[in-house]
């Protein structure tokens, strides 16, 4: 348990010292804390009775509780559900009742609240309803799956998102320049690339980024009284190797190109390597998944129709699972597609059809293929003499499906497409005999 501290303790980690004292200092979460947004209005009006926030580590869950306590001038008590118990809960709630009698509010912040069992959660309910404590619970999990319904139904529930690289860079700069709470007492020369690297490598986790910054600056030797925090120092402080992969420059496009061409060229080892490089450098896994889906159709196509099924499943898995585990279904899809037989016949077919439509007169739909589902269709000759393929032997019947014949799809002999080619050849032979 910790009571709200009034003084800055320089022995605390930088991430703790840099906790925001106002919503204007709070980084990110504009979707709920932007001007006029619900949570901001509730905080500024001091109308929060119970709040549950969830999201990945280091996005500001604890900082938000701290900030609310500062703004509302409430007593602040924090416990962690992993090491707490019912006895401690009753003790801190009793403190909240005592404070209320003296006209003071108490914010009870419970980190990892999903770790509490139902009985522990039930202990909170009466005092939350009575306003003896203002509960702020934090969890990395969806509270609707992990917390008891009576608790979530009595709480405002908000999701916090991973911080953008821009938000983290802003936090790092603030910490470097802040003389009271941050590292402003030191003479620091920072490389923009070093801060950008920390922001990218921390993957939206501000605590990790600030921790790495503090370690890097405090362990880098001074030269002429100046600490030079460069890319090398940044990579050592966060223990991650920098990879040249600028998202808007050659590193990004060249690596993505090598990745796609390796899958097309049936080299699963090279494809996995380039994918791993992109993920390591912080590429959005959805970008990679989309490239896999395109390759599955453009370069594998009907030579192995399962390729697209696996690719789209990997895309869904990325959305559902998230990183770092999402790399596994991505790897499965990449190795399958790289190893699959190849055909670009479907891709060439649609391109040829596009060219015909663009360069030639657009064909009218033949009358017998037009929609005949409405009452007056027959009077207009719609659908007349249409032959239903399933009424004929082999579920095939010869009739015109285009006014002007054209050949677009030319299947190859590769993989499953060889069977498609054989079937279409057999149909052609039947047509020639008619």
Tens-digit pLDDT profile for the chain (434 aa)?
444 444 566 778 998 898 888 888 888 889 999 888 999 999 989 888 899 999 888 898 999 998 998 888 899 999 999 898 888 889 999 999 999 999 899 999 999 999 998 888 888 899 888 889 999 999 988 898 889 898 998 899 999 988 898 999 999 999 999 988 889 898 999 889 889 888 888 878 899 899 989 988 988 888 888 999 888 888 888 776 556 555 555 667 888 899 999 999 999 999 999 999 888 877 889 999 999 999 999 999 999 999 999 999 999 999 888 888 999 999 999 999 999 999 999 999 999 999 998 898 888 888 888 888 887 877 777 888 888 889 888 888 888 888 888 899 999 999 999 999 998 888 888 777 66
**Whole-number pLDDT of residue 5:** 47
Give me the long-range contacts of 38-45 (CB less than 8 A, separation at least 24). Answer: 38/156, 39/156, 39/158, 42/156, 43/68, 43/71, 43/72, 44/71
Is 344 within 8 Å of 299 (Cβ atoms)? yes
**Whole-number pLDDT of residue 428:** 83
**Whole-number pLDDT of residue 290:** 95
Is 51 within 8 Å of 152 (Cβ atoms)? no
Contacts of 276 (CB under 8 A, 6+ apart): 327
**Whole-number pLDDT of residue 343:** 95
Alpha carbons 205 and 161: distance in angstroms, whole number: 10
Is 63 within 8 Å of 20 (Cβ atoms)? yes
User: How much is the pTM?
Assistant: 0.57
Alpha carbons 264 and 266: distance in angstroms, whole number: 6
**Whole-number pLDDT of residue 240:** 65
Is 84 within 8 Å of 168 (Cβ atoms)? no
Residue labelled with tokens 């509730």: 42
- The fold for domain 263-339 equals Zinc Finger, Delta Prime; domain 3 (1.20.272)
Which residue ranges make up each domain of the chain? 2-159, 165-238, 263-339, 359-433
Q: Any idea which architecture 2-159 has in CATH?
A: 3-Layer(aba) Sandwich (3.40)
**Would you say domain 359-433 falls under CATH 1.10.10?**
no
Burial class (CB in 10 A: 0-12, 13-18, 19+), 10: exposed
Alpha carbons 434 and 422: distance in angstroms, whole number: 19
The tokens describing 26, both together, are 């709070």
- The fold for domain 165-238 equals Helicase, Ruva Protein; domain 3 (1.10.8)
Residue labelled with tokens 């119970």: 50
């Amino acid at each position: 348990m910790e009571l709200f501290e009034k003084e800055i303790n320089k022995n605390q980690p930088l991430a703790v010292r840099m906790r925001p004292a106002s919503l204007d200092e709070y980084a990110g979460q504009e979707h709920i804390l932007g001007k006029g947004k619900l949570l901001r209005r509730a905080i500024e009006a001091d109308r929060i009775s119970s709040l549950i926030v969830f999201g990945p580590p280091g996005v500001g869950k604890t900082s938000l509780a701290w900030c609310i306590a500062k703004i509302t001038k409430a007593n602040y008590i924090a416990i962690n559900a992993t090491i707490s118990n019912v006895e401690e809960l009753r003790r801190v709630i009793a403190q909240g009742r005592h404070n209320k009698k003296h006209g003071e509010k108490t914010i009870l912040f419970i980190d990892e609240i999903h770790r509490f069992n139902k009985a522990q959660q039930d202990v909170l309910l009466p005092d939350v309803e009575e306003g003896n404590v203002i509960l702020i619970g934090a969890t990395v999990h969806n509270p609707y799956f992990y917390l008891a319904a009576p608790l979530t139904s009595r709480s405002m529930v908000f999701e916090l998102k991973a911080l953008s690289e821009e938000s983290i860079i802003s936090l790092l700069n603030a910490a470097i320049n802040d003389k009271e709470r941050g590292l402003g007492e030191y003479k620091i020369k920072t490389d923009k690339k070093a801060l950008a690297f920390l922001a990218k490598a921390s993957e939206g986790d501000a605590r990790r980024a600030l921790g790495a910054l503090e370690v890097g600056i405090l362990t880098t030797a001074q030269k002429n009284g100046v600490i030079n925090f460069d890319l090398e120092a940044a990579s050592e402080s966060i223990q991650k190797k920098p990879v040249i992969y600028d998202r808007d420059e050659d590193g990004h496009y060249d690596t993505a190109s090598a990745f796609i061409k390796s899958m097309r060229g049936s080299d699963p080892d090279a494809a996995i390597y380039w994918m791993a490089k992109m993920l390591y450098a912080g590429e959005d896994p959805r970008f990679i998944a989309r490239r896999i889906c395109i390759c599955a159709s453009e370069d594998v196509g009907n030579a192995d129709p399962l390729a697209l099924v696996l690719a789209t499943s990997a895309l869904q898995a990325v959305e559902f699972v998230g990183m770092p585990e999402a790399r596994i279904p991505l790897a499965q899809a990449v190795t399958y597609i790289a190893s699959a037989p190849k055909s670009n016949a479907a891709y060439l077919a649609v391109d040829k059809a596009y060219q015909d439509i663009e360069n030639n007169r657009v064909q009218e739909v033949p009358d017998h293929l037009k929609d005949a589902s409405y009452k007056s269709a027959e009077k207009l000759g719609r659908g007349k003499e249409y032959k239903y393929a399933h009424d004929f032997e082999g579920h095939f019947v010869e009739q015109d499906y285009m006014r002007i014949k054209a050949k677009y799809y030319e299947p190859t002999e590769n993989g499953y497409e060889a069977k498609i080619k054989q079937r279409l050849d057999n149909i052609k032979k039947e047509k020639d005999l008619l």
